[in-house]
């Protein structure tokens, strides 16, 4: 049995999505060591020892892994954004392919070989959206930063390498504005006015929106905030305030007010224009989304009948595939997203699409009950995956093809197995690295009727 403060030398064999290396003592006992890489030999101190596994810190790396690289960021290890910046990117793609394959073997029971993970572009500066939480520094000044791992402690990060460099100017201007007015940072259970600074940009058009998220129904000197942003970023497309009085960790509220410019920004994706409001969901990696939806289109092929797009959001997936389908029916529970999807269909002259506002499970049941027999279904569920009733209703509708996009390979494997139990078979699986340098990876799966 191992104990706290024990000194031990470990050969690191694997890595977790949180960026902790995995090593085994001579007796097989597993220890997780943050900041280490597969191939490292490290002198470690045990911090916590459970019955079957424990946690340790690396005191020194005596033999560095050939996969180890310079993170290039002073906040790495203190910020919870990047987990894999200390390993080479080609190796990161290999690891992510192993994670997907292991989930589909262990959870789904699928006997698959190597999973290829495709990368859209350079792994830095890819995020078109960032939410910076407000915190208070030691001098009592409000600062915008990033959350530390597994906490809501705000860590200062003047230049996150996952976002465009111009964010620095907006952050500085927003901090100066808030501090000059004496605004306080929000803390759950304790109050405070300023919750987050929210920046998003449209890569294809160069349009940018900036929002301040506040805990209240009013922002004093709203015009001053808009002026500060315009001075920091001449040409900014939209400035707004988002009001969120709900306790807890939900970032966006359900009401916003445009202070300057247009209510929405427009991006171009897969040859289509998409209008994006401050509250709309839109993929954070535009190039990655084009790659992802392109693979989904390859898997779908031609769909002369009805294509149902569950969890459709603002319509990006379905509308990118509508040209392959005779009819598109999109389903989404958020009313504003449905409005955006309808607007985006009209904007692009897509006349074979309709969108239903409702829960995916209820809509799937309704469509199945109406006897609608889709040729294909595309699903892009949240991280928790599909509700069992959604799976059951898809099986009831009996489409020839199901294309499943999953941001969580564990729930994706589970859902694929449930579909296969209902008379389908797994045909193809691909990985797409939508979130380089983090522990997340998308998978796209083609499932056909057996």
Give yes or no: 407 in active site: yes
Question: Which H or E run includes 213?
Answer: strand 208-214
Tokens encoding 192: 């405070």
Question: Closest by alpha carbon to 132, among 149, 116, 146?
Answer: 146
Q: With the C-alpha atoms ordered 264, 266, 269, 271, is the resulting torsion angle positive or negative?
A: positive
Q: How far apart are CA 46 and CA 31, in angstroms?
A: 8
Who's near 261: CB < 8 A, 6+ residues apart? 209, 236, 237, 238, 239
Q: How far apart are CA 410 and CA 216, in angstroms?
A: 38
Q: How far apart are CA 256 and CA 259, in angstroms?
A: 10
Q: How far apart are CA 120 and CA 376, in angstroms?
A: 26
Question: Which H or E run includes 44?
Answer: strand 41-49
Q: Which of 73, 270, 386, 407 is catalytic?
A: 407
Q: Is 108 left (phi over 0), alpha (psi -120 to 50) or beta?
A: alpha
- List, by residue number, the catalytic residues: 407
């Amino acid at each position: 049995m191992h104990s706290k403060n024990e000194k031990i030398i470990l050969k690191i064999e694997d890595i977790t999505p949180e960026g902790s290396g995995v090593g085994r003592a001579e007796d097989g006992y597993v220890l997780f060591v943050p900041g280490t890489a597969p191939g490292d030999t490290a002198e470690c101190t045990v911090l916590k020892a459970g019955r079957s596994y424990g946690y340790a810190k690396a005191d020194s790396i005596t033999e560095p892994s050939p996969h180890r690289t310079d993170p290039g960021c002073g906040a790495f290890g203190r910020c919870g954004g990047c987990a894999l910046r200390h390993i080479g990117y080609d190796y990161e793609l290999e690891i992510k392919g192993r994670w997907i394959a292991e989930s589909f073997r262990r959870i789904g029971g699928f006997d698959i070989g190597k999973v290829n993970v495709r990368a859209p572009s350079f792994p830095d500066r890819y995020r078109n959206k960032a939410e910076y939480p407000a915190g208070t520094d030691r001098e009592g000044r409000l600062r915008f930063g990033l959350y530390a791992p597994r906490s809501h402690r705000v860590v200062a990060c003047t230049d996150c390498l996952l976002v465009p460099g111009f964010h620095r100017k907006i952050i500085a201007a927003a901090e100066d504005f808030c501090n000059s007015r004496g605004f306080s940072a929000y803390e759950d259970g304790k109050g405070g006015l300023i919750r987050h600074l929210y920046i998003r940009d449209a890569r294809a058009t160069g349009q940018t929106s900036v929002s301040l998220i506040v805990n209240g129904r009013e922002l004093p000197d709203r015009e001053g905030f808009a002026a500060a942003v315009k001075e920091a970023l001449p040409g900014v497309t939209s400035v707004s305030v988002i009001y969120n009085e709900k306790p807890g960790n939900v970032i966006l509220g359900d009401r916003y007010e445009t202070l300057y410019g247009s209510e929405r920004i427009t991006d171009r994706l897969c040859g289509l224009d998409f209008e994006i409001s401050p509250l709309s969901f839109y993929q954070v990696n535009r190039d990655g989304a084009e790659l992802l939806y392109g693979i989904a289109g390859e898997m779908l092929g031609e769909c002369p009948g009805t294509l149902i797009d569950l969890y459709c959001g603002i319509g990006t997936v379905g509308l990118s595939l509508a040209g392959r389908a005779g009819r598109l029916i999109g389903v989404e529970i958020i009313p504003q997203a449905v409005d955006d999807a309808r607007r985006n269909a009209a904007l692009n002259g897509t006349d074979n699409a309709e969108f239903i506002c409702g829960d995916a499970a209820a809509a799937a049941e309704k469509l199945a009950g109406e006897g609608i027999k889709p040729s294909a279904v595309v699903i892009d569920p949240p991280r928790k995956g599909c509700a069992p009733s959604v799976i059951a209703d898809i099986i009831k509708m009996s489409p020839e093809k199901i294309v499943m996009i999953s941001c969580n390979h564990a729930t994706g494997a589970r859902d694929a197995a449930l579909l296969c139990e209902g008379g389908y078979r797994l045909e193809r699986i691909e990985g797409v690295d939508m979130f380089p340098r983090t522990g997340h990876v998308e998978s796209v799966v083609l499932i056909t009727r057996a």
